[in-house]
A and B are shown apart, each in its own frame.
Chain A
Amino acid sequence: MSTTALFLTLIFVLIPLVLSKTLGLQLEKDTIVATIRSTVQLVAVGFVLKFVFDSESYMFIFLMVILMIGAAVQNARKKGQGIKGITWKLIVTFVLLEVLTQSILLGFKIVPATAQYIISLTGMVIGNSMVLAILFLNRFVSEVEAHRSESELILSLGGTPKQAIHKQLMRSIQASMIPTIESQKTIGLVQLPGMMSGQIIAGADPLEAVQFQILVIFLLLTTAALTSVCLGLLSYPTLFNERMQMNQRQQKHSK
């Protein structure tokens, strides 16, 4: 893509700006900030990735993975502030997911152990896991509050904390997994995934692009299941005290 063509892509930023101004949506400032931030971040990441890919150093790969997990934790933790120790729970979830998926990918030699593959696939796994974690936490916190009296009833009848929160936990896990499963049902029919489209535009053989896309969608199914289940199982015990009583409502600080 030429520099002129790259600049011309700004037309796709101007359209929402004009619409926002005309309709009084007041999204002009956010749109401009988002445009500048995404451009600067992507350009910076481009340079960093080029450096890491060229170096082929496992230390730099490791640091990149840590950076991705750190950023994902920072973003997702805002949605789970009603849950004690949410930062550590997110770290454990993301690290477990990364270790498991990379062990399978590299252990079975599904992809080569190079920075190009490790970092790209980590980005997809952790990025999707972060979105799922936010979906899960949003739903779980609201489910717990909406059905607090039912949980307290089960505890009052001699039920365990796990029994008291079981329905809410299952509903939250299902709700966070459904978008991944549903989007995969229409993949290739309604939408061409970004990674596959990018490869095809870059000149790759479409059949080869499809092979990698199949790898990614299967990987994202594990990501969806593991993120929700792991975060759910780690989160629910902190809603109860050592006497198996439900903790008092906490002020929500999430935005």
Chain B
Amino acid sequence: MVLQNSPMIAGSVYDNLALPLRLQGKTLSKEKALDILDQVGLEGEYLERDSQNLSGGQQQKVSIARTLLNQSKILLMDEITSALDPSSLNEVEDLIRKLHVQHAITVIWITHNLEQAKRMGQYAWIMVDGKLVDAGEISVLDHSDIPSVHRFLKGDFS
């Protein structure tokens, strides 16, 4: 799971990457840490940097790398680009596309951004007031048969 605000524990980027393995009583080798950094588009020099001094986009990439180290087959991402500037947003979207193909990971992406959902998604589940109201191919976002969903997607929240 990748969280919205990409929280970092106090310490270096390596400390953050090592966290999921440390929770399982394992250690992360430097080679593997450098490899995962490379996969998310960060250079090796970032490994020893203080995680608190990274930009929002860089923290989100470290956060994604940290989650990938768990080798999960499903990645749940909770509005991971909502706090990013447009340039970082594009970088993260490209990264997720690449990882989806390279690692054959199923990505469940929670977003309020309909354009992003259309850009990134193949299937959509539409939730209104915490309830699942419609689901299907991504085109459901443009052609929902359910009036309340149609109104909601047009921005009518009444």
Binding site for B on A (CB under 8 A): 149-150, 152-154, 156-159, 163
Contacts of B2 in A (CB 8 A): 156
Contacts of B3 in A (CB 8 A): 149, 152-153, 156
Question: Are B67 and A157 neighbours in the complex by a CB distance under 8 Å?
Answer: yes
Bound together, the chains give a CA A169 to CA B2 distance in angstroms of 25
Q: Return the chain B residue nearest A155 by Cβ.
A: B1
Contacts of A156 in B (CB 8 A): 1-3, 67
Q: Return the chain B residue nearest A149 by Cβ.
A: B7
Question: Are A157 and B7 neighbours in the complex by a CB distance under 8 Å?
Answer: no
Bound together, the chains give a CA A137 to CA B9 distance in angstroms of 24
Q: Which residues of chain B in 1-21 are interfacial with respect to chain A, using CB atoms and an 8 Å cutoff?
A: 1-3, 5, 7, 9, 19-20
**A150-B9, A153-B9, A157-B23 given; 6 more Cβ-contact pairs under 8 Å:** A150-B7, A152-B3, A157-B66, A157-B70, A158-B24, A158-B70
Contacts of B24 in A (CB 8 A): 158
* 28 pairs of residues in contact across A and B, judged by CB atoms under 8 Å: A149-B3, A149-B5, A149-B7, A150-B7, A152-B3, A152-B7, A153-B3, A153-B7, A153-B9, A153-B19, A154-B19, A154-B23, A156-B1, A156-B2, A156-B67, A157-B1, A157-B19, A157-B20, A157-B23, A157-B66, A157-B67, A157-B70, A158-B20, A158-B23, A158-B24, A158-B70, A159-B23, A163-B23
Q: Return the chain B residue nearest A148 by Cβ.
A: B7
Bound together, the chains give a CA A154 to CA B70 distance in angstroms of 12
Q: Return the chain A residue nearest B1 by Cβ.
A: A156
Contacts of A154 in B (CB 8 A): 19, 23
Q: Return the chain A residue nearest B76 by Cβ.
A: A156
Binding site for A on B (CB under 8 A): 1-3, 5, 7, 9, 19-20, 23-24, 66-67, 70
Contacts of B67 in A (CB 8 A): 156-157
Bound together, the chains give a CA A8 to CA B19 distance in angstroms of 65
Contacts of A152 in B (CB 8 A): 3, 7
What is the minimal beta-carbon distance from B4 to any residue of chain A, in angstroms? 10
Bound together, the chains give a CA A156 to CA B3 distance in angstroms of 8
Bound together, the chains give a CA A150 to CA B5 distance in angstroms of 11
Contacts of A149 in B (CB 8 A): 3, 5, 7
Contacts of B1 in A (CB 8 A): 156-157
Bound together, the chains give a CA A12 to CA B87 distance in angstroms of 70
What is the minimal beta-carbon distance from B71 to any residue of chain A, in angstroms? 11
Bound together, the chains give a CA A157 to CA B1 distance in angstroms of 7
Bound together, the chains give a CA A149 to CA B7 distance in angstroms of 6
Q: Return the chain A residue nearest B24 by Cβ.
A: A158
What is the minimal beta-carbon distance from A248 to any residue of chain B, in angstroms? 14
Contacts of B20 in A (CB 8 A): 157-158
Most buried by B among A153, A154, A159: A153
Bound together, the chains give a CA A159 to CA B2 distance in angstroms of 14
Q: Return the chain A residue nearest B16 by Cβ.
A: A153
Bound together, the chains give a CA A163 to CA B3 distance in angstroms of 18
What is the minimal beta-carbon distance from A106 to any residue of chain B, in angstroms? 43
Bound together, the chains give a CA A163 to CA B24 distance in angstroms of 10
Q: Return the chain B residue nearest A164 by Cβ.
A: B23
Q: Return the chain A residue nearest B6 by Cβ.
A: A153
Bound together, the chains give a CA A152 to CA B9 distance in angstroms of 11
What is the minimal beta-carbon distance from A11 to any residue of chain B, in angstroms? 53
Q: Return the chain B residue nearest A167 by Cβ.
A: B9
Bound together, the chains give a CA A211 to CA B80 distance in angstroms of 64
What is the minimal beta-carbon distance from A156 to any residue of chain B, in angstroms? 4
Bound together, the chains give a CA A152 to CA B4 distance in angstroms of 11
Contacts of A158 in B (CB 8 A): 20, 23-24, 70
Contacts of B23 in A (CB 8 A): 154, 157-159, 163
What is the minimal beta-carbon distance from A255 to any residue of chain B, in angstroms? 31
